[in-house]
Structures are given as structure tokens and as C-alpha cells.
Chain A
Amino acid sequence: MADNIPKTPKLDELEKGGWPSFVKEIKMAAKRSPMGGDLLGQLEQSYNEKIGHWKHGGIVGVMGYGGGVIGRYSDLPEKYPNISHFHTMRINQPAGWYYTTDALRKICDIWEKHGSGLTNMHGSTGDIILLGTRTEELEPTFDDLQKIDFDIGGSGSDLRTPSCCCGMSRCEWACYDTMALTYDLTMHYQDELHRPAFPYKFKFKMSGCPNDCVASIARADMSIIGTWRDQIQVDQDAVREYAERGLDIQNDVISNCPGKCMEWDGKELNIENEFCVRCMHCINVMPKALRPGKDRGATILIGSKAPIIEGAFLSSVFIPFMKITPPYDEIKDLVDRIWDVWGEEGKNRERVGEFIQRVGLGNFLDAIEMEPIAEMVAHPRENPYVFYEEYYEEDDGEEEEES
């Protein structure tokens, strides 16, 4: 099988240096599967010609599902017959990306049996990505994956595979159980995950604390970020110990506080918690001395996305604080109301953030029957001409015209 590896001088350059190389991995896979050799050949040709040679398929999938398989075909099938079909499968990862080595071996065995053997751990949405198989192998792969309790993830205009940080399993800052919520939402919204019915994709990402290790604020239509609503827990002895050991608390902590809510007199650290913006900086610098408060939950933010119709958005606050406890009815009720309005009124390829921007936050809130609150204001209004309906009477304008 090693004979099928073509000469690839350009790709070989990508094997140099200290970083892992996908070229090296494809060459290893080529020793086991003829797909690897043809993949290297086509890629080298693309580098030489500066032209991509993939065609996007739009119809392949497994029976009953509308997502999770991304069709790919080579546009040079005679020259590279082994990758004439090279479909990608997205597999729903376990919450927090925890696997046993046994489970990983089984996934890899299935993929070597049915596909190229090449994987991407993990795609940017969080799924396990299985790269390269033929159309006729999709159903058998799906069947074998189901036997080891793995399911296909989301793609297209559906709920994308929810993902989360490791949360309470490893992190002392987690303000709610991210893995439990992720699992619950994944199971509850199976229909939305597998049967695309939205105007475009919708992503949940769960972060246990404002450090936001899964970058949910930038990548999720609904970012669920752990927070607290009482006071930061302070161990003054531990703060003093940090100072004694050389930490410059004034410069490294106090001066960097975006809320300017802290004071340090050399003995006591005082925090005005009502001005704390939950940036986590002080907690990250002095983890032995400071901890998130005890009344913990999450802030729900909405709307982030990468540029397609509009430019990139960050999520903005929608619900400043919500307790995140099973059975998560409050969050599911909110999600259902949002999907109902956006699903019906959203345009094709319009993300929920873009939809809110188009119809206006006020109209959106009216539609989902929520009251506006100050925390929802992402930034001050640019337009100073604001009409307050309760102070504005229709005949005011007419009188002015007459005079």
C-alpha cells in the first residue's frame, strides 16, 4: 500500500518544523488506505495549480437525517478514483470531549473499515470529523457507529451539535454543570439536530465561567456562560500571602480591573461587587484567594456568528442571570420561543443575531413576549432621535403643520 504514495514536494514542506503535520498523518493513513495516496496526489496538484479540486455534494446523507454528512466529490475522478467520493461525517462528540481509549479505538476501527481512516479531532463546532468515504458506505458506517452508542451530529440549517467546556468535571470555576446541560439539550432537541427546519444554523455553546474556554461568546447563537450574582469569595489571608510572595496586587490585579471595583491597602482587598463585570481577571491571578460567589447560574447571551450575510457578531446579554438546574425548563422555554419566531420569520441563511438586527431588538422581544431590560443594551444608541410612544400623540405633528 505504501507504493501508492505519490511524490509531493510541495506538501513535504509542510512536514518540516516543530508542529504536527496533517501531511504526515495523511501519509500514515495512505499506508492503510488507497484514499490517502490519491488525496495527497490531488492536494499536491491543487498546490501546483492553485485550484481546489473538490465539488460540494448536497444530497448525500443517511436515511431520515438531514444533517451530519457533508458531500464531497473530486472533480478529477479518473485521475484519483479512490477519492471520487470523499464525504465527511460529523459525529456527535461526548460532552466535554471525554472518551475512553476503547471508544476511540472503536471509532477508528469503524472508520478504517468504511472510510479513509482519516479523522479530525475535532471540528470547530466540536464534532468528531470523519474524513472521506463513499456514498454506499454512509449507511453501514452509521449503523456501526450506533452499535457503539455514537450518533451523527448537526450540519446544514439545523441545531448544530451542542458543545461545552469540561465544566465541573475538572474546573473549580464552573458555575453550573455544563456537561449535564449539554447532554440534556442534545437529547431534548434530537429532532432539531437531525431534521433541518431552521432558516440557518443554530449553535449552543456552554461555558462554565466567564473565562469562556469554548469561546461561546464569539461562536454560538446562544452562549450560556456561567456566572454568579452574589459576592466574590475572598480569603484575605491568602491575598496577603500572594502579596508577601511578590505579587504586585496593585498593578497586576487592581489596575487591570475593568470595573474599577477593587481597592488594596496593603492589608485588605475590598471589592465593590455591584461594579464587578465578572471578567474573572482577579480570580485568575489569585486563584487561591478569590473564588466566584456562591449563588451561581449563567448569563444567556445571544447572536454571535462569523461573517456571511452580515459581519461577525459577538453575543450580547439577553438574560443576565438564570439558575441552570435540571430539568432546565426555563432555558428550554426561552429557546422554543426564540426558534418559533426566528423559524417563521427568518430569511434563508439568516442567523438569529442577524434576524434580531434586522427586525430590531424591541420587535423581537415583543414577539417572544419578553420585557426589555437595561442589560440587553449592547451599546448606546447611535440615533439620538428616539420617540417614546407614551409621550407622543398623533395630532402633535398636525398641529405643528397648521401653525
Chain B
Amino acid sequence: MAKTVEEIADAMFNMVKDAMGQKKLKPMDLTKAMISLYGEEGVDKKMCKGAIKNLVDSGRLVYTYFGGSFLEIPHREGAAND
């Protein structure tokens, strides 16, 4: 059954939350995981792109760079000076 962008965003957010501190995830990791979870009839790349946009625009996730770009839950970075 086709999922909504909001449902995909929630699933992606939970995946990033669960992986936090263990593995950094790239947008394509999340997209592949969603397609694997819900099947190609449930989600497509365009919907995943929309879900990521929602997550970033709402501030639930942020892009980070550590030798490549990843999606993470906002946090204080180690290098930051207060």
C-alpha cells in the first residue's frame, strides 16, 4: 500500500534516531531502506526526496558533513566553541 510522505518522513526519522551514535546515514541509505521496507509499490525515490526535504525544512534532521554529507538529528557538534 502506498505510503504518504509524512509516514515516510517519520520512518526515516526513527531510523536516524535509532542509528545515532552508531552509524551516520546518507540520504540514499534512507531511501534504499524505505524502498526495502515498504516495497516499490509503497514508496519511490521522489517521495523519499520529499520526505527528506520535510524533515530538513522542519528542523527535525540536519545535514552534516564528515568526509561526506549525512543526515542527523540536530546536536551540538564536538568541534564547536561556545
Question: Which residue numbers of A lie inside 8 Å of B, CB to CB?
Answer: 55-61, 63-67, 70-71, 73-74, 77, 84-85, 135, 155-158, 191, 195-200, 343-344, 348-349
How far apart are the CA atoms of A195 and B61 in the complex, in Å?
A: 12
Supply 8 further A-B pairs (C-beta < 8 A) apart from A59-B72, A199-B28.
Answer: A58-B65, A58-B79, A61-B62, A67-B69, A71-B77, A73-B79, A198-B28, A200-B68
How far apart are the CA atoms of A73 and B56 in the complex, in Å?
A: 24
Number of A-B contacts (CB under 8 A): 83
Given A64-B57, A71-B77, A195-B56, the answer on whether A156 and B49 have CB atoms closer than 8 Å is no
* Cβ distance A161 to chain B, nearest Cβ, rounded Å: 15
Is B66 a contact of A58 with CB atoms below 8 Å? yes
**Sample (6) of A-B pairs whose CB atoms are under 8 Å apart:** A63-B57, A157-B68, A195-B52, A197-B52, A344-B28, A349-B67
Residue ID in chain B nearest A74 by CB atoms: B81
Residues of the B chain whose Cβ atoms lie less than 8 Å from the Cβ of A70: 65
Question: Which residue numbers of B lie inside 8 Å of A, CB to CB?
Answer: 26-28, 32, 49, 52-53, 56-57, 59, 62-69, 72, 74-75, 77, 79-81
* Cβ distance B45 to chain A, nearest Cβ, rounded Å: 8
Is B80 a contact of A196 with CB atoms below 8 Å? no
Residues of the A chain whose Cβ atoms lie less than 8 Å from the Cβ of B64: 58-59
How far apart are the CA atoms of A64 and B53 in the complex, in Å?
A: 8
* Cβ distance A44 to chain B, nearest Cβ, rounded Å: 20
Given A85-B81, A157-B68, the answer on whether A343 and B62 have CB atoms closer than 8 Å is no
Residues of the B chain whose Cβ atoms lie less than 8 Å from the Cβ of A61: 62-63
B49, B52, B68, B80: the one contacting A199 at CB < 8 Å is: B68
Residues of the B chain whose Cβ atoms lie less than 8 Å from the Cβ of A156: 63, 65, 68-69
How far apart are the CA atoms of A157 and B81 in the complex, in Å?
A: 25
Is B63 a contact of A84 with CB atoms below 8 Å? no
How far apart are the CA atoms of A158 and B27 in the complex, in Å?
A: 11
* Cβ distance B38 to chain A, nearest Cβ, rounded Å: 17
B28, B59, B68, B80: the one contacting A343 at CB < 8 Å is: B28
How far apart are the CA atoms of A219 and B43 in the complex, in Å?
A: 36
* Cβ distance A322 to chain B, nearest Cβ, rounded Å: 26
Is B81 a contact of A77 with CB atoms below 8 Å? yes
Is B81 a contact of A73 with CB atoms below 8 Å? yes
Residues of the A chain whose Cβ atoms lie less than 8 Å from the Cβ of B80: 57, 59, 73, 135
* Cβ distance A83 to chain B, nearest Cβ, rounded Å: 10
Given A58-B79, A84-B81, A195-B52, the answer on whether A65 and B63 have CB atoms closer than 8 Å is yes
How far apart are the CA atoms of A156 and B66 in the complex, in Å?
A: 9
B53, B69, B74: the one contacting A196 at CB < 8 Å is: B69
Residues of the A chain whose Cβ atoms lie less than 8 Å from the Cβ of B75: 59
Residues of the A chain whose Cβ atoms lie less than 8 Å from the Cβ of B79: 55-58, 71, 73
Is A197 a contact of B27 with CB atoms below 8 Å? yes
How far apart are the CA atoms of A219 and B49 in the complex, in Å?
A: 28
Residues of the B chain whose Cβ atoms lie less than 8 Å from the Cβ of A63: 57, 59
Residue ID in chain A nearest B77 by CB atoms: A59
Residues of the A chain whose Cβ atoms lie less than 8 Å from the Cβ of B27: 195-197
How far apart are the CA atoms of A245 and B40 in the complex, in Å?
A: 71
- What 10 A-B pairs have minimum CB-CB distances, sorted nearest first? A66-B63, A196-B69, A157-B69, A156-B69, A55-B79, A84-B81, A77-B81, A197-B27, A59-B77, A58-B65
Is A195 a contact of B26 with CB atoms below 8 Å? no
